[in-house]
């Protein structure tokens, strides 16, 4: 989410500052610019930066608040799903080889497999 802001933020700030808030491009150095133009450009950049930050963070705040209200139900549903999966897997026994010869303590298969760490 935040990485997309790195790609979209500068474009949004540049667009808003020029089209909405009246930023004027200048070939002069900042020190040589007209003080009124410099103040207007600073105000335009500040307003567009504020807008480009407030809107996404407001959306995130609303979504996290909504997630807070659904969290308890989601946890309950996940626990119910885990219990139903465990009961389903217990009812259907998976085939496996479990004899004394193949166990960890003895048997040729255990010795061939190497040490168990």
Q: Is residue 91 part of a domain?
A: no
Q: How many structural domains are present in the chain? A: 1
Q: Is residue 1 part of a domain?
A: yes
Q: Is residue 2 part of a domain?
A: yes
Q: Is residue 83 part of a domain?
A: no
34: domain range?
A: 1-77
pLDDT digits (tens, 9 = 90+) for 5-57: 678 888 999 999 999 999 999 888 988 999 999 999 999 999 999 998 898 89
pTM over 0.75, yes/no = no
Q: Is residue 106 part of a domain?
A: no
Q: Is residue 41 part of a domain?
A: yes
Q: Is residue 84 part of a domain?
A: no
User: Which DSSP string do the residues of 33-91 spell out, in sequence order?
Assistant: S-HHHHHHHHHHHHHHHHHHHHHHHHHHHHHHHHHHHHHHHHHHHHHHHHHHHHHHHHH
Lowest-pLDDT range, 39-43, 48-52, 67-71, 80-84?
80-84
Token output for 91: 């009812």
Q: Is residue 58 part of a domain?
A: yes
Q: What is the pLDDT of residue 82?
A: 74
């Amino acid at each position: 989410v935040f990485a997309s802001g790195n790609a979209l933020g500068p474009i949004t700030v540049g667009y808003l500052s020029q089209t909405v808030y009246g930023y004027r491009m200048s070939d002069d150095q900042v020190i040589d610019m007209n003080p009124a133009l410099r103040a207007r450009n600073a105000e335009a950049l500040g307003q567009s930066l504020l807008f480009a930050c407030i809107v996404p963070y407001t959306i995130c705040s609303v979504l996290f608040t909504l997630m807070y209200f659904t969290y308890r139900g989601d946890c309950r549903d996940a626990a119910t799903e885990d219990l139903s999966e465990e009961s389903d897997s217990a009812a259907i026994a998976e085939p496996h080889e479990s004899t004394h010869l193949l166990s960890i303590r003895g048997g040729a298969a255990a010795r061939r497999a190497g040490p168990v760490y």
